Structure 1
Amino acid sequence: MSTITRRLFSSSSIIRSTALENTLPLNPSSPVHAKHLPRVLQRRIAKRIEAIEQSSEDGSIPSTINIPNPFLVQRTNRRSSESELTGEARYNWKKPSISNRRQKQLLQLYPSIDLPISAKSKRTPLAPALGSESEELLEIEGISRPVRWNDKITINWTGQLKPKQQKQKDVNEGTTKSLYSGRKLMFKGHKDERNRTQKLADRQTRLDGMEKRIKDWRQGRNDEKIRNRPSLPF
């Protein structure tokens, strides 16, 4: 067993690989108990609750607490300057506090329905077992299941997962796709390729006036011969 896997087993409370059979059928919008979460998420929730309790004057804790989803990129604060291209506001972003590799390992040990929403989670295999209504809810991307810490406190994971954009199919399926089919051109190309359009235009301009230049050149050559001809007959 590798070091990372051993750490995951040692830092997890309950491996729920077969625990779903005791909870089906379930509603994805219903809170999951914190004891079913990995210990790394339990520590994160406990740390946030402790910070809220210390910051409050009377030590009271709200019934609903919002915690940033550690599996997603989070938007922090707004930048002072807007985008030069679109003019829209720009923001600073914070990377997920739990890496993608760690997320994938946690998803192998715990059902994805219990964990916060992640780009690595695949919830479709659970849909047939959960029923048609739950299946429709699971297809909605960006929804994380709330967590019931105790009888008084409920945790909500904040952060939205952007839906994946489906690639558009070509009208002519028989035609071969180019490297940048339906994509933005990312590379400048060679200097010869960038200057080719102007080079061809200049060449065509010279070809259009070629007859006049040849005529002028011949006339100039004849005039030069006449000027250089000696005036004396000997």
Structure 2
Amino acid sequence: MSTITRRLLSSSSIIRSTALENTLPLDPSSPVHAKHLPRVLQRCIAKRINAIEQSTEDGSIPSTIHIHNPFLVQRTNRRSSESELTGEARYNWKKPAISNRRQKQLLQLHPSIDLPISAKSNRTSFASALGSESEELLEIEGISRPVRWNEKTTINWTGQLKPKKHQQKDVNEATTKSLYSGRKLMFKGHKDERNRAQKLADRQTRLDGMEKRIKDWRQGRNDEKIRNRPSLPF
């Protein structure tokens, strides 16, 4: 079987199983079974469990295992220097184990409520598609559901999605969101963009007395024509 055919069959089977099997209730504390997760998350969990088995002498596995959310960035160690702008502590960050492009593909094949929380997930639209009975999804937008690996083991995804800081808009003033809004350091921009304000001011200064200068020039031209007229009639 070719690679393309195998991918088509695997994708269709995932979509069919997702459409026929209802993985809800919407209680965020109720774990979702591991069989409803994509294979990449199943491999991530299995790799973590194998590492725990090898680290213990008797090979026992705890009932609850915490695994970092592969959809989110991970904060590692603290840096030695603090931020020059805010004075707050700085940390080193590790990129998500699963790229944003792959996250969007998984969210198209699986319900977002079953997957770990991601910046690419939109549970609000998923709740509206299910109807008014799924309004509870709006309250658990920033929570990842636990995973039931087997009858004795439960997986908890660690990591929290940072809420987006919406720009405060004045009700009386009509403000528009621009490229520079909310940035601590503005972009350098092109030279013509940086000099645009001064250029417009200089142009307006020259245009202020333009009508008077045109009138004086025309009057001077007419006076010169009169002076240059010959005195002879022929």
TM-score range, shorter chain: 0.5 to 0.7
Distance change (3 Å), C-alpha of 1:113 and 1:175: closer
Structure 1 counterpart SS, 2:87: coil
Deviation digits for residues 39-71 of structure 1, max 9, x if unmatched? 111011001000001001221111111111111
Q: Is the 8 A contact 1:25 1:130 kept in 2?
A: no
* Conservation of the 8 A alpha-carbon contact between 1:141 and 1:163: no
For residues 59 and 131 of structure 1, do their structure 2 counterparts lie closer, same or farther at Cα, with a shift above 3 Å needed?
A: farther
Judge conservation of contact 1:13–1:37 (CA < 8 Å) in 2.
Answer: no
RMSD: 8.2
> 5+ unaligned residues in a row in structure 2: which ranges?
none
Report if the CA contact (8 A) 1:12-1:38 is conserved: no
Q: How many residues in Structure 1 have an aligned counterpart in Structure 2?
A: 234
- The alignment partner of 2:21 has SS state of helix
Report which stretch shifted further, 159-168 or 200-209.
200-209
Measured after TM superposition, the shift of residue 73 of structure 1 is 0.8
Identity %: 91
Which shifted more, 120-129 or 141-150? 120-129
Offset at residue 86 of structure 1 (A):
2.8
Task: Tell me the CA shift for residue 139 of structure 1.
Answer: 3.2
- The two structures have a TM-score, normalised by structure 1, of 0.68
What SS does structure 2 have at the residue aligned with 1:171?
Answer: coil
The answer to whether structure 1 residue 169 and structure 2 residue 169 are counterparts is yes
Following superposition, the deviation at residue 144 of structure 1 comes to 0.5
The separation in 2 between residues aligned to 1:113 and 1:4, in whole angstroms, is: 29
Between Structure 1 and Structure 2, whose CA radius of gyration is higher? Answer: 1
**Closer, same or farther: CA 218–73 of 1 in aligned 2, 3 Å:** same
Measure the CA separation in 2 of the matches of 1:144 and 1:86: 31
CA apart distance, 1:104:
0.6
Deviation at residue 195 of structure 1 after TM alignment: 11
Classify 1:212/1:80 alpha carbon distance in 2 versus 1 (closer, same or farther; 3 Å). Answer: farther
CA contact (8 A) 1:147 1:156 kept: yes
Query: Could you tell me how far 1:176 is from its partner in structure 2?
Result: 7.2
Q: 2:26–2:137: 8 Å Cα contact kept in structure 1?
A: no
- How far residue 223 of structure 1 moved from its aligned partner, in angstroms, is 42
